[in-house]
Structure 1
């Protein structure tokens, strides 16, 4: 009996050792990660939602890996394959800056990634463009890091902790009184001051913070994207009579802006355009940009415009109506861009 117990205990111990975790990832999963990396380096494909990812999975341009089509790690599914001869690893982040940042960091920590391409839909803050147009910004900023000023203080008043270097008035503010419908009067919400992100680049000294507001995309990727500006995109949703006034176009723009806000408000959209020069406004790209920037990995974001961010019909937001064509256009542009990265390494910023 004692010998049987010892044998059973030894077997249990052997199983536990075989599946023991290194951190929160099991040895079995680490083994699969090492196997996957034999197919690298990869172009990392980062996408927010299923409706922006499913057209890729259903496209003949995407060839899933036959040996390891996917690997599940920490609640994320990493899909392996090829697009235009480029080995890729694709992951869906889910909604918001937090999900996008966590997923991008996990991607870079686990796999050999030479560059990141991110795509999806966005609201439009530029009235010179239309729904369905695909934008490729040169810079990204996160616009939901604020210092909210107390009632009664104004632009001349120092912000809390500003003297310590934690906050700044350099980027300016939004004063709610400016948007009082019955005329300008004091508003107890007062003002919010926009703040840059604290960052800790791998090339810097650990725990010695730097700051970043406008994060540039890869200069080389942005230059390559010029080749996409002649693409012909469909003006109608497949199989329907829902059509746009003109065929959508691909255009490189100066600035894109992200925040943990679904924007369906014309006044705020106009403010963002006037204050920051935003074109696409959405909820993830700046997080991807900030992680890639800190890790020294080249990246590019492709965002198709699905609605006018509160500036269109009074009957409702247009995103539900045009989501399919906007998502499809973003995917089509991404599928054309990835093959352009043939021979481009991680050092090519």
Structure 2
């Protein structure tokens, strides 16, 4: 799942989504590269590189390529927030992506809708072992946590990425309905995952991501998002990543 000889990259778009992790790094070293700050060190003895992708697919792809080329990471895990669009996905839940599609990819009629040109691929799958480890980390790490009076549910499924902050009921319905029309059932929308998945696929590197649901990608998303990111996302990330690191260090075949 994760090579002992190569560090694990932990990636987020915003500082709030990764708050506290740098403080927990053992032997922390800051490296500036490609206009970004990267933090090398260890979490619970596991070699890691922490980085912020910034927002959007191009920025995320640049950061991912830098992690692979400059830092030689052996896998990338993304933790952040997303808008929930699945029927049973509520604010405060978490989604572990099993696949990633770009909802704004449309090179038709040259290529089928949503297909990445010249690849023959539409949805890129997450690494199964990493995704299972993230699910386990969510279930264990969020025990006892409540949001708005309910325990967070852990969902697994398709995540749709695009270079838009989706925050209107009509826009969300249009994106989701069109994806469904082409055989895709998204659970969440965000702005980076599919790009990181594509880079990792190109390099043959394991990738998985977990997203806390900050809003329902509706008309109040712009108000719900910053509050959730500030008050909730960092708590989720610390708990999930701590348990994920323990799971990666554990030799028991429970994944």
Displacement of 1:233 in angstroms is 5.1
Deviation at 1:235, TM superposition (A): 2.4
- Give the structure, 1 or 2, with the largest relative contact order (CA under 8 Å, sep 6 or more): 2
Corresponding position of 1:131: 91
Look up the match of 1:195: 114
Q: TM-score, normalised by structure 1?
A: 0.63
Partner of 1:234: 145
Which structure has the greater CA radius of gyration?
Answer: 1
| Gap regions ≥5 residues in structure 2 | none
**Distance change in 2, residues 1:225/1:52 (3 Å):** closer
Q: Deviation at 1:196?
A: 1.5
1:82 alignment partner, SS class: strand
Does the 8 Å contact 2:134/2:210 carry over to 1?
no
Structure 1: which 5+ residue stretches go unaligned? 1-38, 148-158, 169-193, 199-208, 237-243, 345-349
Matches within 5 A, 1:1-349: 41-58=6-23, 62-65=24-27, 69-147=29-107, 162=109, 166-168=110-112, 194-198=113-117, 209-228=118-137, 229-230=139-140, 231-232=142-143, 234-235=145-146, 244-249=148-153, 251-274=154-177, 275=180, 276-310=184-218, 317-323=223-229, 324-342=231-249
Output one character per residue of 1:234-280: Cα deviation in whole Å (capped at 9) or x when no partner: 325xxxxxxx131223x241111100010111133234444131112
Any idea what SS the aligned residue of 2:91 has? coil
Q: Aligned equivalents of 1:113 and 1:334: distance in 2? A: 17
Cα shift at 1:308: 0.9
Q: Match of 2:11, SS?
A: strand
Cα distance between partner residues in 1 of 2:30 and 2:227: 32
- Cα deviation, residue 287, structure 1: 0.7
- Number of residues paired by the alignment? 240
CA contact (8 A) 1:83 1:339 kept: no
- The 8 Å contact of residues 91 and 214 in structure 2, kept in 1 or not, is answered as yes
Structure 1 position 339, deviation (Å) = 2.9
Pick closer, same or farther for the CA change 1:74–1:107 going to 2, 3 Å: same
Report the equivalent of 1:188: none
TM-score normalized with structure 2 length? 0.85
